[in-house]
């Protein structure tokens, strides 16, 4: 088996080729990959079932099984996402700013690929295709290190994509699986400074923090999603019920699902019976403060006393931490203490309260009268996303094509010399 260093070296060579490709060449490659994925659905599904059988035997939770599953409909969806990416504008070569200096020098800041992008992720084999497609479109080589739980699926997906690259005359090393099953291969990837230009981790808090704390390669930190919904005293309560339900229950295994509900005390008596009736029907467990307990028990909702672990939790399940607050200021203070910086939502019809909330909350995305589930590259019009950055340098929020580029200054003169 090749070493991580050997794979990274070949990816670096491939990245030199990729940065020279035209948009038409990259878009053709994306469409061919999409066609091959659809044509190989039976093969991919068979390999995915091997991973699912192993996961079930290990007692993996239903939420993680859902993340791991790649059936025919989902294969079609990720293939179609590649076609959508092909239709998006190419960020490479875009002039960010341009001007002429008084001495006649012409300055242009233009977008260029990052180079070799390493992605380390858990479960969710759709990330394998999404990440590879976004890297290809933005002119980057992709080094993919999925979890052992999705190994068979990822091998199949990458094999299909590499064959498609060869078909269109692009180096197959532009998309590569990082070899190895153990943490040693992750460590080698984190130490491949000079070969790998950036690492993007996607997964749970422990994975992300390990990479952020120990990588020699620059890291773009992506999102643990402890997302909050605040229902204000001036909220439309029927709207609030719909938004909370969608945020929490539409799909629990994703990072933009709501994990904490905060309700203004002025509307708690009117709002919570409506919401908790829906929670009961959907088997949601409320981890509530003392003020919340009476409402939960009256509605017959499963209830548990909330603690600090709950306020900090990303559940990936039909559980939600919930509290009653006296003001929007108290809600914001709670969010600033416990949020992971991913997505927060406010439901309110008061423009002043909304303005305060959106200014005071410091997260990658803030939703006003909308579900937290909209924090997503596809929903934002980026096409597929490579992750949701919760840091503040280089990229923040859903990361699409633009976020996978850096810039070069091109300065044109006519024999200019500096005096």
165-184 mean pLDDT = 94
Nearest-angstrom CA–CA distance, 166 and 172: 6
Of residues 10, 297, 299, 287, the one with CA closest to residue 142 = 10
Please identify, in words, the CATH class of the domain defined by 4-222+399-412.
Answer: alpha beta
Question: Residue 201 forms beta bridges with which residues?
Answer: 120
* pLDDT for the residue numbered 291: 85
Question: Residue 302 forms beta bridges with which residues?
Answer: 285
Is pLDDT at 40 greater than 90 in this prediction?
yes
342-358 mean pLDDT = 98
Of residues 405, 383, 416, 8, the one with CA closest to residue 188 = 8
* pLDDT for the residue numbered 222: 82
Q: Taking phi first (over 0 means left), then psi (-120 to 50 degrees means alpha), and beta for anything else, what does residue 415 get?
A: left
CA 285 to chain centre: 26
Q: Are 375 and 364 in contact (CB under 8 A)?
A: yes
Nearest-angstrom CA–CA distance, 172 and 17: 11
Q: Are 407 and 112 in contact (CB under 8 A)?
A: yes
Q: Are 386 and 399 in contact (CB under 8 A)?
A: yes
* pLDDT for the residue numbered 317: 92
The pair of three-digit structure tokens given for residue 104, joined into one six-digit string: 């006649």
Task: Provide the Cα torsion 352, 353, 354, 356; round to 10°.
Answer: 90
pTM of this prediction? 0.85
Query: For the segment 84-137, what is each residue's pLDDT rounded down to a tens digit?
Result: 999 999 999 999 999 999 999 999 999 999 999 999 988 789 999 999 999 999
Q: How do the domains of the chain map onto residue ranges? A: 4-222+399-412, 227-374
Confidence band (pLDDT; 50, 70, 90) for 182?
Answer: confident
* pLDDT for the residue numbered 289: 87
What phi and psi values does residue 69 have, to the nearest 5 degrees? Answer: -70, 135
**Mean pLDDT, all residues of the chain:** 94
Fold of 227-374: Aldehyde Dehydrogenase; Chain A, domain 2 (3.40.309)
The residue ranking higher by pLDDT, 382 or 189, is: 189
Is pLDDT at 203 greater than 80 in this prediction?
no
Fold: same for 4-222+399-412 and 227-374 = no
Query: For the segment 222-240, what is each residue's pLDDT rounded down to a tens digit?
Result: 877 899 999 999 999 999 9
Compute how many other C-beta atoms are within 10 angstroms of the C-beta atom of residue 248. Answer: 28
* pLDDT for the residue numbered 85: 92
In the block, which residue shows the tokens 């002039």?
95
Confidence band (pLDDT; 50, 70, 90) for 11?
Answer: very high
* pLDDT for the residue numbered 290: 87
DSSP character at residue 400 = -
The pair of three-digit structure tokens given for residue 97, joined into one six-digit string: 């700013």
* pLDDT for the residue numbered 1: 55
Is pLDDT at 70 greater than 90 in this prediction?
yes
């Amino acid at each position: 088996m090749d070493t991580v260093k050997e794979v990274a070296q070949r990816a670096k060579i491939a990245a030199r080729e990729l940065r020279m490709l035209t948009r038409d060449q990259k878009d053709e490659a994306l469409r061919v990959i999409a066609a091959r994925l659809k044509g190989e659905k039976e093969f991919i599904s068979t390999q995915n079932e091997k991973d699912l059988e192993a996961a079930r035997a290990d007692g993996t939770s239903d939420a993680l099984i859902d993340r791991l599953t790649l059936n025919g409909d989902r294969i079609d969806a990720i293939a179609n996402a590649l076609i959508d990416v092909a239709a998006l504008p190419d960020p490479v070569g875009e002039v960010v700013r341009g001007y002429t200096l008084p001495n006649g020098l012409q300055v242009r800041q233009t977008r260029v690929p990052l180079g070799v992008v390493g992605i380390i992720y858990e479960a969710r084999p759709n990330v394998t295709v999404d990440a590879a497609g976004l890297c290809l479109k933005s002119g980057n080589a992709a080094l993919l290190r999925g979890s052992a739980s999705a190994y068979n699926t990822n091998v199949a997906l990458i094999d299909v994509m590499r064959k498609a690259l060869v078909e269109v005359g692009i180096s197959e090393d532009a998309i590569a699986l990082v070899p190895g099953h153990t943490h040693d291969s992750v460590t080698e990837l984190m130490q491949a400074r000079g070969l790998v230009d950036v690492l993007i981790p996607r997964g749970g808090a422990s994975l992300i923090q390990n990479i952020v704390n120990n990588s020699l390669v620059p890291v773009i930190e992506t999102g643990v999603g402890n997302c909050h919904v605040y229902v204000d005293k001036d909220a439309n309560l029927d709207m609030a019920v719909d938004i909370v339900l969608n945020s929490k229950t539409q799909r629990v295994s994703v990072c933009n699902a709501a994990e904490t509900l905060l309700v203004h005390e002025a509307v708690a008596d009117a709002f919570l019976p409506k919401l908790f009736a829906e929670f009961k029907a959907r088997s949601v467990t409320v981890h509530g403060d003392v003020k919340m307990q009476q409402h939960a028990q009256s509605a017959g909702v499963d209830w548990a006393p909330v603690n600090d672990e709950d306020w900090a939790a990303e559940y990936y399940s039909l559980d939600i931490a919930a509290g009653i607050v006296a003001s929007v200021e108290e809600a914001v203070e709670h969010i600033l203490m416990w949020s992971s910086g991913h997505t927060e939502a406010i439901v309110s019809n008061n423009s002043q309260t909304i303005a305060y909330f959106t200014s005071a909350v410091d997260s990658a995305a803030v939703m006003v009268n909308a579900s937290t589930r909209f924090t997503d590259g596809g929903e934002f019009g980026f096409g597929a996303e490579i992750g949701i950055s919760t840091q503040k340098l280089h990229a923040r929020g859903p990361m699409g094509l633009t976020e996978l580029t850096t810039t070069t200054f091109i300065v044109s003169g006519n024999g200019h010399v500096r005096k």
